[in-house]
Structure 1
Amino acid sequence: MTDTTSELASTTTARPGRFREFWSSFSENRGAVIGFYVFIAFLLVAIFAPLLAPYDPTQQFREATLQPPVWQDGGTWQFILGTDAVGRDMLSRLIHGARYSFFVGIVVVVLAATGGIILGLVAGFAPKWLDTLIMRLMDIVLAFPSLLLALVLVAILGPSLLNAMIAIAIVLQPHYVRLTRASVMSERSKDYVIASRVAGAGRLRQMFITVLPNCLAPIIVQAALSFSSAILDAAALGFLGMGAQPPTPEWGTMLADAREFVLRAWWVVTLPGIAILITVLAINLMGDGLRDALDPKLKRS
């Protein structure tokens, strides 16, 4: 009874200790901490967008088209960040645009990571001919410029936000396949995997229970970086008219709608661009911190 109690106590204290160790390594990178807090702020804005936005993002105020921000001559407190060409409040559209961008990032990462991890595990445990076939297919996908391939896929599927997410997930998937396969190949020769095989563990148990948990650290880092890539690619497709369609308040679509007003209404182009810049930069900084904290080789002595 005493031994069992001591084991439970040691397990309970080990988990917070592991988190403290991770946070200690992560917080050494100040840029990563700033990126993390900015990411949390954007996440909260996305979740509570209907409560934070002063107006509906598609509501038009025809008497206030291209109204400048409050700090510029002619601006009013009614529209703090101004309005666009049809009188829609820029602040409301930017806030709701955060929701679309985070939705794109989550869906793309889940689709790409799920398919990539499964294919990577199969390639790592499969016979050589199947491994070679999977990896050569991934090499073919990687041989195309990512945005060009996404454009071709969206052109085939049809312009929409859903099809853009599917196309971006397909483009990002090879990175997960290669990363997972490399991690599996390095883990397969270790003693604990050999012991599980000797103990009679089946192939699926070895793949998903024994090996996969020990391959998650680089995959988590890749997921963070893919999140920012997904937001950026979705904005690029929206700017080209192949992603979200008007009047959806997606940041790339907002940039596309504002192209002709660059010279006389700078805010309709600058503000969505700044939102994309800050979000992608924050997630990339956070991804660098995750890499430093999760990779033992990069931890500072």
Structure 2
Amino acid sequence: MADASSQIASTVPTRRPGRLREFWTYFKENRGAVMGLYVFIAFVFVALFADLIAPYDPSTQFRSAILQPPVWQDGGTWGFPLGTDALGRDMLSRLIHGARFSFFVGIVVVVVAATGGIFLGLVAGFAPKWLDTLIMRLMDIVLAFPSLLLALVLVAVLGPSLLNAMIAIALVLQPHYVRLTRASVLNERTKDYVIASRVAGAGPLRQMFLTVLPNCLAPIIVQAALSFSTAILDAAALGFLGMGAQPPTPEWGTMLADAREFVLRAWWVVTFPGLAILVTVLAINLMGDGLRDALDPKLKRS
């Protein structure tokens, strides 16, 4: 009787953990990715609640405290924890509100670039040879130019503004999604489940968006995480060159541009915006590495 019950128990399949739990199991093995995730969550919290966290309005000028260093005030309280800039504006408040602009840029750029890139990649993967070749050669032409230089040219044509900078960066990043999606589609099209759906009568649109696309999302998610950091970095670069967000917008790249002439006199007006960009981009890149490890089945340990 005991032998029979043990045989039955051994034949009962064990319940697999949920996808989210399985993802977290592999993701947390990369400690750098976990640290990056915590830092990313902290920056998102700061961006969402900037109005409540910032001690001052980012545009308020304190004429009596121009280029004040980050020092203790009378009574042991912080007046300006990170000092002030050349117009007497609180650096901490501007950095906090700058996080909101940077994350807004990242979200908009990734959504626009991924939406257009995924659609063109699906079309190229399912289209006739001539259309596939046309789409990919256009993407190759875009990739032939240095990304920041091409974004700079597009902003110069459209006009310097934060909106035009986001459009330019999204157009520059879109070919990466096209190539990645097309490669994933070509790899999936020959598999049995796609052939079975075609035999069952599924049309091209159903195969593209409901059958193949869900199985191509893992590398696209990783690319989106890495594109997020690239968008923040490119937006800061365009702002530094005067082609992105315009003063008095508290964007990190614009803050660096305004502080160029005070590098030797006031180190804090350059150091803190640069550190904000560095820490944010590094955290997102570390998180992207963890996403790759957790979503790529070839990297999962059995």
Normalised by the length of structure 2, the TM-score is 0.93
Quick check: 2:72–2:78 contact (8 Å CA) kept in 1?
no
Aligned to 1:251: 252
For 2:202 and 2:245, how far apart are their aligned partners in 1?
Answer: 47
1:262 shift after superposition: 0.1
Which runs of 5 or more structure 2 residues have no equivalent in the other structure?
A: 1-13
Which residue identity lines up with residue 140 of structure 2 in the other structure? D
Which residue identity lines up with residue 61 of structure 1 in the other structure? F
Task: Determine if the alignment matches structure 1 residue 280 to structure 2 residue 281.
Answer: yes
For 2:274 and 2:245, how far apart are their aligned partners in 1?
Answer: 16
Aligned to 2:28: 27
1:236 shift after superposition: 0.1
1:298 shift after superposition: 1.3
Aligned to 2:161: 160
1:244 shift after superposition: 0.1
Q: Deviations over 1:40-86 (max 9, x none)?
A: 000000000000000000000011000100269xx971101100000
Which residue identity lines up with residue 256 of structure 1 in the other structure? A
Q: Deviations over 1:211-262 (max 9, x none)?
A: 0000000000000000000000000000000000000000000000000000
Which residue identity lines up with residue 150 of structure 2 in the other structure? L
Quick check: 1:69–1:76 contact (8 Å CA) kept in 2?
no
Aligned counterparts, 1:87-126, within 5 A: 87-126=88-127
Aligned counterparts, 1:1-301, within 5 A: 17-70=18-71, 77-301=78-302
Normalised by the length of structure 1, the TM-score is 0.93
Secondary structure of 1:110's aligned partner: helix
Aligned to 1:4: none
Quick check: 1:104–1:231 contact (8 Å CA) kept in 2?
yes
Which runs of 5 or more structure 1 residues have no equivalent in the other structure?
A: 1-12
Figure out how many residues of one structure are paired with residues of the other and give that number: 288
Quick check: 1:32–1:288 contact (8 Å CA) kept in 2?
yes
For 1:29 and 1:206, how far apart are their aligned partners in 2?
Answer: 35
Classify 1:51/1:125 alpha carbon distance in 2 versus 1 (closer, same or farther; 3 Å): same
CA RMSD of aligned residues (A): 1.6
Quick check: 2:72–2:79 contact (8 Å CA) kept in 1?
no
Secondary structure of 1:60's aligned partner: coil
Which residue identity lines up with residue 82 of structure 2 in the other structure? L
1:300 shift after superposition: 3.1
Quick check: 1:70–1:80 contact (8 Å CA) kept in 2?
yes
Quick check: 1:70–1:76 contact (8 Å CA) kept in 2?
no
For 1:186 and 1:240, how far apart are their aligned partners in 2?
Answer: 41
For 2:16 and 2:290, how far apart are their aligned partners in 1?
Answer: 20
Which residue identity lines up with residue 220 of structure 1 in the other structure? I
For 1:106 and 1:220, how far apart are their aligned partners in 2?
Answer: 13
For 2:293 and 2:186, how far apart are their aligned partners in 1?
Answer: 22
